[in-house]
Structure 1
Amino acid sequence: MEAAHRPGTTHEVTNQAPPLADYNLFTTDTALSEALERARAGWHRDALERDGAQLGTAEAIALAELANRHEPELFTHNPRGERIDALEFHPAWHGLLAQLRAAGLQALPFSNPQPGAMAARCASYFLHAQLESGSLCPITMTFASIPVLRREPALFETLRERLYAREHDPRDLPLPQKTSMMIGMGMTEKQGGSDVRSNLTEAYPLGAATGRGAPYRLTGHKWFFSAPQCDAHLVLARTDGRDTLSCFFVPRFAPDGTKNTVNVQRLKSKVGNRSNASSEVEFFDAYGVMIGDEGRGVPTIIEMANYTRLDCVIGSAALMRAALVQAIHHARHRRAFGRPLVEQPLMQNVLADLALESEAATVLFMHLARAFEESADASGANAHEAPEARAWRRIVTPAAKFWICKRALAFTGEAMEVWGGNGYVEESPMARSYREAPVNSIWEGSGNVMCLDVLRALEREADAAQALFLAWRREAQDHPVLTAALDRLSALLNGAPGTREANARRIAQQIVLIAQAMLLRAGPQEVADAFIATRLDEHDADCGRVFGTLPARFNHAALIARAFPAI
């Protein structure tokens, strides 16, 4: 006898994908594993397997959700009315930073230099970035500051131990009282944005000494001051009425132990992650020390930006990887029209196309890591840098920062659509990836700025560009599609005078697609063939197309299985 219907009782929940948890982010990523060996970083495999397992646990996933649900709070004054500009974070934030410091992501290639160290660090960063993005911001800036600070031996000697430390010290104290530290940066002002040469902040010497290593007081503002809770920031300011900018190390506390007069006006309400604090600040005679030569602040800070741009590439690649894994997992468990989504030909096409894009991004950032490692010896000098490595670092890196970050926008949206309506709610794992995707395209130079930087690098590093393009020609001599793609790039570069800037995005895009194609040829032939045919073959390719338009001749199911094996 059938049970009588009882009004008010809920229905049974069926045909819903279970939460993806308790899987290993590293061992399920074949492309990353293969790239690790090519980058001479196989010695880091055990650490990646350990971290990959931990980052895939339900507990780690919950930590990331908590850190974004409970936003940091700013307290400008204490009960006595004293200015403190203190930030209060949920314990989950500090838990995430403790994991990142334990993995050494703020210093690994510098604190433990050995062959493959840069690639090892990038692979670890890639895994952590799939879990949560906001906590990576101060880690990236601390990491990128080290090459700059190492050029200031006296200052660096006082900071080295705290920069390299693998413990997270959340205490808001003067540096001498802390076991570890984080460094942020403050470049942009409200009137200039990416045009930092329009900055108005001024610096005045505190005594008779001026120039590198001398103390100054800074007056002005910063429109985006990333992670104001950091123990120090690198800041650009003008000196002595100069038209040029200098770079300054501005600690959170002045030498006498009082809070430095860097006053936080407000925290930014951002589209993306909620876990990290971004702010607007004003300097009221704030204490700072000049680093680098006077008037050379932009070149000084650009060295830092080159490293942060690499992390932007990795961060966007990680967002893509996280979204891909979630999309495949959902498609394997969700049924529609009588069978699982993952078995339906059109859905297979979409997922396989996303898998190609993700693998191409992975091999690219791992190869860039090798180029960065080859570009500097243990002292940070790059006098003996090979031209081809310099081209990857100076030309391909800004092009990759433009292209990979742009692709993450469309990619995360497509992956969200795989989930359907379930993906379009904040409780889903897709929402945070989708909201986060634009930031890397904007931060550290928008798309146009990156493409113009590519053009400048092509002119300034003409010998390096020639070395790279000749190497690609040799590798492509047996491949008509790649040869034709190189011909099209050459035509863009040698076009009519005045057309280069208008074509800058096309040039950057073509450079990255050729670079990815070349790198993918080191892996399975079907992966390389599918990528080349759909990104570079004039008969099949349309780089502005939507995902899910792969020719039917490719084995879509095999591409999906390679991207994320069933668990």
Structure 2
Amino acid sequence: MDCLTHTVTNQPPPLADYDVHAADAALREGVERHASPANLEEIRAELGELGRAAGSRQAQEWGEQANANPPVLRTHDRYGHRIDEVDFHPSWHRLMEHARAAGLTDAWGRADGHLRRAAGFVVWSQVEAGHGCPVSMTHAAVPALRADPSLAAVWEPLLTSRAYDPVLAPPAGKAGVVFGMGMTEKQGGSDVRANTTRAEPLAGAGEYALTGHKWFCSAPMSDAFLVLAQAPGGPTCFLLPRVLPDGTRNTFRIQRLKDKLGNRSNASAEVEFAGTWAQRVGEEGRGVATIIGMVSATRLDCVLGSAALMRQAVAQAVHHAAHRSAFGGPLIGKPLMLNVLADLALESEAATTTALRLAAAYDSDDEGERAFRRLAVAVSKFWVTKRCPAHAAEALECLGGNGYVEESGMPRLFRESPLNSVWEGSGNVNALDVLRALQREPRALDAFLREVGRARGADHRLDGAVRDLLTELADLEGIEVRARRVVERMALVLQGSLLVRFAPAAVADAFCASRLGGDRGASFGTLPRGLDLASIVERARPVPR
């Protein structure tokens, strides 16, 4: 007979077999707000299917296994031949296969393509974040390749395909491909103009031999990469395939895989090129301008990925508090816990609402929308990704000691939480990018302020925050040292404007009071009195089917 102390009580049931999409009110409403009416039912059906898959025990098991069994580098085969391959656990391939089948690399040219893909990315990333890296880069390679229509004609159908084929083979024989990226080098980091990798022209038009290294090559198992190298005309973008058209392997030496804080399921590598064959993308000397289309799209995915992490963290924290009792009653009913959960829910909803607004801007050909996203993506990438680590830590604490145990999944969320702030430019890089846009592209600021101004007069705290921001922007003297302060304020007024216009009154009121009115402390759970905290938390509560 089991000892009585082995009887399990007062432990929440697993948050499993639920619809991740249906349980997320902010995501659902954002899709309905931005989608074309003619496409809405189809999008709902797609996201419903994906949401049920993401919430399934099977998908959760794939995510756990992919992280428990990280990729393994094989530099040589048993006979001593150099192969430079990376082996993944089968669960990684199941995740990738499902992501491709769900259209998470298929946005370009589809009706509401970026919106539906963004919502799907938020839903599916809650299963496991690591495989989102190659999914993101495969999706984002399309705008960069369009700088060379002949290359785009060959590769774009394979990039947007819903087929997943992990075998390294000539692209002509594949139903779909995965792309990676190589920009940074050990001596330069974010300063890509300091790159030393050389590109020497070959006899064939647009063909080059690359010699050098990449310090952080994302997804080294990919079929091809967009990389930067120094051509005779200056920094240039190149397409580097792993397998050449004749079926032989291109020279692509994987020196080692990075031992990372999080993102354990995904491979990141140091690689070397030695006469490696590549094709030029765009003009010589225009490499940064060419690859920036890819960077912009992956920066949006940083916002989406952080929004997904925050949403899953809130879902787990609220679910735990709803099923756990302490000090005479359910945790979710305790005033102080309610304050913490509501504060976390506010941050999550602001991130999701902002991310979907950015995605909708990508679906528009309007010049004003292009100008808006030029500034808003960098602003949001800075702020949303910065909020993620503190958010994950507080959500973990809501589970107490249970949250510190690997089986809860919260440590994996926490380890993943800083990544998106580092990837595609750290906080300083993004803040400086915002300053460049402010100084060189006045239409971008006009478009940004027009978007914020659509809520003018709806909340006095938002109006006051906008006035303070304009005062900051009017004084450009020494603005670089104030860049983070300025970008933070820009992000908050954008989020405030969106929530005032589109969120329930309880959410908008709490956000404006705490984030714009300054009535809060330095930690989560310090919202002021008089707010409808219970409504905010109930809205964020995941409901298993």
> TM tier, shorter chain?
over 0.9
1:468, distance to aligned residue in structure 2 (A): 3.1
**Who is 2:420 aligned against?**
440
Give the secondary structure class of the aligned counterpart of 1:179.
coil
**Who is 2:327 aligned against?**
337
Candidates 284, 290, 296, aligned match of 1:300: 290
Give the secondary structure class of the aligned counterpart of 1:493.
helix
Aligned equivalents of 1:451, 1:541: Cα separation in 2: 25
**Who is 1:51 aligned against?**
50
Describe the superposition over 1:131-164 as per-residue Cα deviations: whole angstroms up to 9, x where unpaired.
1111111110010001111232222222233222
One-letter amino acid of the counterpart of residue 457, structure 1: A
Aligned equivalents of 2:156, 2:453: Cα separation in 1: 44
Give the secondary structure class of the aligned counterpart of 1:264.
strand
**Who is 2:316 aligned against?**
326
Say yes or no: does 1:506 pair with 2:505: no
**Who is 2:77 aligned against?**
78
When structure 1 is superposed on structure 2, of 329-338 and 441-450 the one drifting more is 329-338
Are the counterparts in 2 of residues 36 and 119 from structure 1 also a CA contact under 8 Å? yes
Candidates 478, 498, 521, aligned match of 1:519: 498
Describe the superposition over 1:248-295 as per-residue Cα deviations: whole angstroms up to 9, x where unpaired.
000001233211111000001110021111000000100000001110
**Who is 1:560 aligned against?**
537
Are the counterparts in 1 of residues 282 and 290 from structure 2 also a CA contact under 8 Å? yes
Aligned equivalents of 2:357, 2:338: Cα separation in 1: 29
Give the secondary structure class of the aligned counterpart of 2:399.
helix
One-letter amino acid of the counterpart of residue 417, structure 2: A
Are the counterparts in 1 of residues 67 and 264 from structure 2 also a CA contact under 8 Å? yes
1:479, distance to aligned residue in structure 2 (A): 3.1
Say yes or no: does 1:457 pair with 2:437: yes
One-letter amino acid of the counterpart of residue 502, structure 1: V
One-letter amino acid of the counterpart of residue 236, structure 2: S
1:481, distance to aligned residue in structure 2 (A): 1.5
Alignment of 1:345-494 (within 5 A): 345-374=335-364, 376=365, 385-387=366-368, 389-473=369-453, 475-494=455-474
**Alignment size in residue pairs:** 539
**Who is 2:262 aligned against?**
272
Aligned equivalents of 2:292, 2:69: Cα separation in 1: 33
One-letter amino acid of the counterpart of residue 440, structure 1: N
Aligned equivalents of 1:78, 1:496: Cα separation in 2: 59
One-letter amino acid of the counterpart of residue 109, structure 1: W
Aligned equivalents of 1:90, 1:472: Cα separation in 2: 46
Are the counterparts in 1 of residues 104 and 117 from structure 2 also a CA contact under 8 Å? yes
Say yes or no: does 1:20 pair with 2:20: no
Aligned equivalents of 2:420, 2:156: Cα separation in 1: 28
Closer, same or farther: CA 155–471 of 1 in aligned 2, 3 Å: closer
Are the counterparts in 1 of residues 179 and 223 from structure 2 also a CA contact under 8 Å? yes
**Who is 1:231 aligned against?**
223
1:396, distance to aligned residue in structure 2 (A): 1.3
Are the counterparts in 2 of residues 17 and 333 from structure 1 also a CA contact under 8 Å? yes
**Who is 1:184 aligned against?**
180
Aligned equivalents of 1:175, 1:357: Cα separation in 2: 43
Are the counterparts in 2 of residues 221 and 280 from structure 1 also a CA contact under 8 Å? yes
1:109, distance to aligned residue in structure 2 (A): 3.3
Alignment of 1:176-215 (within 5 A): 176-207=172-203, 209=205, 214-215=206-207
Closer, same or farther: CA 476–286 of 1 in aligned 2, 3 Å: same
Aligned equivalents of 1:565, 1:330: Cα separation in 2: 10
Are the counterparts in 1 of residues 214 and 272 from structure 2 also a CA contact under 8 Å? yes
Give every structure 1 segment of 4 or more consecutive aligned residues whose post-TM-superposition deviation is greater than 4 Å: none
Describe the superposition over 1:293-325 as per-residue Cα deviations: whole angstroms up to 9, x where unpaired.
110000111111000000000000000000000
Closer, same or farther: CA 458–530 of 1 in aligned 2, 3 Å: same
Give the secondary structure class of the aligned counterpart of 1:502.
helix
Aligned equivalents of 1:474, 1:100: Cα separation in 2: 36
Alignment of 1:127-142 (within 5 A): 127-142=123-138
Are the counterparts in 2 of residues 451 and 505 from structure 1 also a CA contact under 8 Å? yes
Closer, same or farther: CA 472–188 of 1 in aligned 2, 3 Å: same
Closer, same or farther: CA 283–117 of 1 in aligned 2, 3 Å: same
1:517, distance to aligned residue in structure 2 (A): 0.9
Q: Which residues of structure 1 form unaligned runs of 5+?
A: 377-384
1:483, distance to aligned residue in structure 2 (A): 1.7
1:216, distance to aligned residue in structure 2 (A): 0.4
Give the secondary structure class of the aligned counterpart of 2:216.
strand
Are the counterparts in 2 of residues 333 and 340 from structure 1 also a CA contact under 8 Å? yes
1:496, distance to aligned residue in structure 2 (A): 5.8
**Who is 2:148 aligned against?**
152
The normalised TM-score by structure 2 is 0.96
When structure 1 is superposed on structure 2, of 161-170 and 348-357 the one drifting more is 161-170
**Who is 1:93 aligned against?**
92
**Who is 1:380 aligned against?**
none
Are the counterparts in 2 of residues 109 and 121 from structure 1 also a CA contact under 8 Å? no
RMSD of the alignment, in Å?
A: 1.6
One-letter amino acid of the counterpart of residue 529, structure 2: A
**Who is 1:283 aligned against?**
273
1:329, distance to aligned residue in structure 2 (A): 0.7
Closer, same or farther: CA 479–338 of 1 in aligned 2, 3 Å: closer
Aligned equivalents of 1:151, 1:438: Cα separation in 2: 32
1:12, distance to aligned residue in structure 2 (A): 2.0
One-letter amino acid of the counterpart of residue 24, structure 1: D
Aligned equivalents of 1:523, 1:284: Cα separation in 2: 55
Say yes or no: does 1:31 pair with 2:31: no
1:565, distance to aligned residue in structure 2 (A): 4.8
Are the counterparts in 2 of residues 107 and 146 from structure 1 also a CA contact under 8 Å? no
Aligned equivalents of 2:442, 2:151: Cα separation in 1: 35
Aligned equivalents of 1:264, 1:515: Cα separation in 2: 42
1:484, distance to aligned residue in structure 2 (A): 1.1
Say yes or no: does 1:548 pair with 2:540: no
Closer, same or farther: CA 103–373 of 1 in aligned 2, 3 Å: same
Say yes or no: does 1:168 pair with 2:201: no
Q: Which residues of structure 2 form unaligned runs of 5+?
A: none
When structure 1 is superposed on structure 2, of 424-433 and 464-473 the one drifting more is 464-473
One-letter amino acid of the counterpart of residue 563, structure 1: A
Closer, same or farther: CA 473–97 of 1 in aligned 2, 3 Å: closer
Are the counterparts in 1 of residues 454 and 497 from structure 2 also a CA contact under 8 Å? no
Aligned equivalents of 2:472, 2:394: Cα separation in 1: 30
Closer, same or farther: CA 471–185 of 1 in aligned 2, 3 Å: closer
Aligned equivalents of 2:476, 2:318: Cα separation in 1: 46
Identity of aligned residues (%): 49
Give the secondary structure class of the aligned counterpart of 1:109.
coil
